[in-house]
Amino acid sequence: MGFIEDVKQFAVEAAKRKDQCATEEATKMALIVPFLKILGYDVYNPEEVVPEYTAAVPGVKRDEKVDYAIIIDEQPVILIEAKKHGENLENHSAQLFKYFTATAAKFGILTNGLVYRFYTDLNKDNIMDQTPFLEFDLLNLRESTIGEVKKFHKDTFDVDGVFNNASELKYTNAIKAFFAAQLNEPAEDFVKYILSEIYSGKRTQATIERFVFIIKDALNALISEMMTDKISAALGKGITQSQPEGKIEDYDGDQDDDTIEAEDLIPTEEEMQCYYIIKAVLGKTLPLDRITHKKTENYFKIKIDGKVTKWICRIYIKERVRFLQIPDGDKKSIRYDFENTNELYALDGKLIESVMMLTTQ
């Protein structure tokens, strides 16, 4: 398998192991050490991965120890500070900061076994930045992020290359976070800037407040349209507006609860593509942050507010079959078969009807 497949497979295993990791040592052995092995490092070779690496912190009488140091050319290059599963990492970056300053390391990783925060010294040499340039979550995988983590693999790791990329990555992530925030809740200064470009009238406080909602809707609509265009171009065909034929089936109603779900299964890339298409379709009907998803052993479902009784649709993707079920409100569901995810756009009316039914119950 390749690196991406190895990470995805381990993510499924990590989701099963995490609740057994009640201590830092258990987290190290069950989650962190296996992940270092996926990165290609020989965790059994103390000349390559040093546990309890000594860091002579200035002003501290006794030497302190960082959980792991990855050694390259006899020098520590990556320091890893481990916390137990579930620990809030916000409270522990200062500890890694001390170790980083006391060594020649170029990168620091703070992790609780599931979330990995990568730091370096972009602002000042040998002084670790306060914010990570990369954050990676095993339970919320994105292939673009896995690609960045792959640069730390032993076989391809290049200190200068990763460092030079870190600056761009840091600001790319900051820009993405800024626009994500504006999509959810446009800031007043952002609204004022847009008004200065498009609005010739007097910009009163009432005008600004009115345009908050207009700009939010416009941005989300733009994202939806861009996603539609991009997927259509990739598939090399236009989006059909005809409604597919549906087939009525029985379904198990409110039996769909967390007790029968396999906890924390990782959706496939195709399932996530379905999710993004359906979010795009429903963007004008429901706030995007209310549309959630859950992977079970048998299907992938899309819900409102994460509530098990408010599922918009279920998606079944197997080797030889692809179909989507939409509840009809009468203990029945309507099945729509599809060959590629692009066809889900043609179900916009049915999906919106499902949302309207669920939000008026």
Q: Three-state secondary structure along 106-149?
A: CEEEEECCCEEEEECCCCECCECCCCCCEEEECCCCCHHHHHHH
Return the pLDDT at 258: 45
Return the pLDDT at 264: 58
- Phi, psi dihedrals of residue 162, rounded to the nearest 5°: -65, -40
Return the pLDDT at 133: 93
Cβ contact 141:271 at 8 Å? no
Return the pLDDT at 257: 44
- The neighbour count for residue 143, using CB atoms within 10 Å, is 11
- Phi, psi dihedrals of residue 302, rounded to the nearest 5°: -120, 130
Longest dimension (CA), the chain: 75
Return the pLDDT at 38: 95
Rounded-to-integer distance, Cα 235 and Cα 264, Å = 30
- Tens digits of pLDDT across the chain (361 residues): 688 889 988 988 898 898 889 899 999 999 999 999 999 999 999 999 999 998 776 555 566 789 999 999 999 999 999 999 988 898 788 889 988 988 889 999 999 999 999 999 999 998 999 999 999 999 888 878 888 999 999 999 999 999 989 988 888 888 888 988 888 889 999 999 999 999 888 889 999 988 988 888 888 778 777 766 665 565 554 444 444 556 666 555 444 444 444 455 788 888 988 998 898 888 878 888 899 999 888 899 999 998 888 999 999 998 778 899 998 867 678 899 988 888 888 888 889 888 988 887 6
Tokens representing residue 276 in the block: 């993004």
Residue for token digits 């690609």?
Answer: 147
Return the pLDDT at 325: 92
Which residues does 181 contact at the CB level (< 8 Å), separation at least 6?
187
310 residue type, one letter: K
User: How many separate helices (H) and strands (E) can be counted in the chain?
Assistant: 10, 12
Query: In whole angstroms, how far apart are CA 133 and each of 104, 119, 164, 346?
Result: 19, 6, 11, 40
Query: In whole angstroms, how far apart are CA 174 and each of 7, 145, 167?
Result: 25, 14, 11
Return the pLDDT at 109: 96
What's the length of the chain? 361
